[in-house]
Amino acid sequence: MLHLTISQGDGVPIYLQLVRQIKTLIATGRLKPDGELPPVRVLAQQLVLNPNTVVRAYRELEVAGLIYKKRGAGTYVSSEVTPYTDAECRRILAERADALVVEGLNLGYDEDKLVALLRERHKTLRRDAPDEEGA
């Protein structure tokens, strides 16, 4: 039973809310490699969503290499890290890093303060994870 919360009226597309939350669950190890995700219909019913919305979220996650489908069986968390090349990974992360840096500059955070913040958030997110056995 996944703990997912969606908010209908906040502008962020529902499928994106799903994608982000599942990404976080995977990143922090709360969803284990080869663990099973709920069937589309079950999740849709549980969250009172249009099944197509869940389908779309799962598809995005599959494209990103984070989950995979076994025909007739179900949907599972990938055990491989990522299907992206090193360069692609770098580009994706550089974009997010840039967002952080720009906002930081505007709010008066210099490089060292940003790094400190990043390290702290990293530890916090990892600490929330249940175990480290998969690493």
Partner DNA sequence: GTGGTCTAGACCACA
Partner DNA sequence: GTGGTCTAGACCACG
Positions touching DNA (CB under 7 A) are: 11, 13-16, 37, 39-42, 49-53, 55-56, 58-59, 62, 69-75
| Binding partner of residue 19 among DNA, its own copies, none, CB cut-off 5 to 8 Å per kind | none
14 C-beta neighbours (distance < 10 Å), count: 18
128 binds, among its own copies, DNA, none (CB under 5 to 8 A by kind): none
Q: Are 33 and 77 in contact (CB under 8 A)?
A: yes
Q: Which residues touch 14 (CB under 8 Å, ≥6 apart)? A: 6, 8, 49, 53
Q: Is 98 in the site for its own copies (CB under 8 A)?
A: yes
What contacts 51, CB < 8 A, 6 or more positions away? 40, 41, 44
- Quote the CA–CA distance of 130 and 78 in Å, as a whole number: 18
Query: Tokens 């500059």 correspond to what residue?
Result: 105
The least CB distance from residue 4 to DNA, in Å, is: 13
Q: In what order do the strands lie in the sheet with 67-70?
A: 36-37, 74-77, 67-70
Answer yes or no whether residue 127 interacts with its own copies by CB under 8 A. no
- Binding-site partner at residue 85 among DNA, its own copies, none, CB < 5 to 8 Å by type: none
Q: How far is the CB of 57 from DNA (least distance, A)?
A: 8
33 binds its own copies (CB under 8 A): no
Q: Give the Cα separation of 56 and 27 in Å (integer).
A: 20
Site residues, its own copies (CB under 8 A): 8-9, 13-14, 20, 23-28, 30, 50, 63-64, 66, 68-72, 81-82, 84, 89-90, 92-94, 96-109, 111, 114-115, 117-119, 121-123, 125-126, 129
